[in-house]
Structure 1
């Protein structure tokens, strides 16, 4: 009799555990699991004061070097996938060309940005991250402020600037816009 009481308790414990697991999960074991959601990514950048509305592409980092948007798509900017999604806490970095060999590109007018102006980034989840410009900095590419760009909170817009070095076939400086998140 003692054996049957012990087995009854074990079976009852198993049943209770099963009921608790179903209650916690909210479903039985043979129902389909929900599909994983696609990761949130930024899809467009809007800078109303400059008349910029540009699609965003993903830019990877390979061997410590950030990929650049293709020159064949001068009106597209790129979000660096190693940075946070704009609207989330942390540094979000977006790159764009200033020009091509034949015409201005997406960030051609970035030099005209002023403190206090608004930058909006539309995300794939329907949210819009809104930033306010803090400072604009033109700095030699040899002194690029990597810690300030890639470690501090906020949005960073980066393009080329300064004088064009014909021997190196590139601009000598970077133009960097630093902005703080004001709402998502």
Structure 2
């Protein structure tokens, strides 16, 4: 279903800017300068999931773009985050469903601590992560600092009850994973 990421992303950007300013412009978790390397595919063996990744930037309103609904089996890497395998927080977003069927991250809530997540990069390397935790949080309590400022991979989708009045899910499902093998 349609996901309003405005409050999630705005909170993330504001938190990131505040942390950057508080640190005098220095941050150990800030991604390295951009290179031509991009993530191309995510593999989650325990979910039998292999999905292509597309680039997601910011919309004119300052929201992180979402993968288009006409590509429900595609997830997206937020280009304002670190390239998977590099230092910093790397954020990958996917839909839980569409109006008619499950989407790429439908089973994300089923991941458990210890599961392997692989991200294949355009340079031929693979970054491997181990799931640390999976949580469901209300969208109005989105943990922006933990998602956007701490090292590791973050997988995000919608979850919980669907709010028919606002046409969106009330919660986000967030997977936190730590790098176990550099790309």
> Structure 1 runs of 4+ off > 3 angstroms?
none
Unaligned runs of 5+ in 2: 1-34
Unaligned runs of 5+ in 1: 1-37
Q: Which residue in the other structure is 2:78 paired with?
A: 80
The counterpart of 2:37, out of the listed 36, 40, 47, is: 40
Please tell me whether residue 153 in structure 1 is matched to residue 136 in structure 2: no
> How far apart are residue 127 of structure 1 and its match?
0.3
TM-score, structure 1 normalization: 0.79
RMSD: 0.9
Q: Which residue in the other structure is 1:177 paired with?
A: 175
| SS of residue matched to 1:150 | helix
| SS of residue matched to 1:116 | coil
> How far apart are residue 64 of structure 1 and its match?
3.0
CA distance in 2, matches of 1:178, 1:153: 10
Q: Which residue in the other structure is 1:24 paired with?
A: none
> How far apart are residue 65 of structure 1 and its match?
1.2
More relative contact order, 1 or 2 (CA 8 Å, 6+ apart): 2
The counterpart of 1:143, out of the listed 134, 141, 155, is: 141
Q: Which residue in the other structure is 2:118 paired with?
A: 120
CA distance in 2, matches of 1:96, 1:159: 5
Q: Which residue in the other structure is 2:129 paired with?
A: 131
The structure having more radius of gyration, on CA atoms, is 1
Q: Which residue in the other structure is 1:58 paired with?
A: 55
CA distance in 2, matches of 1:114, 1:50: 10
- State the number of aligned residues: 147
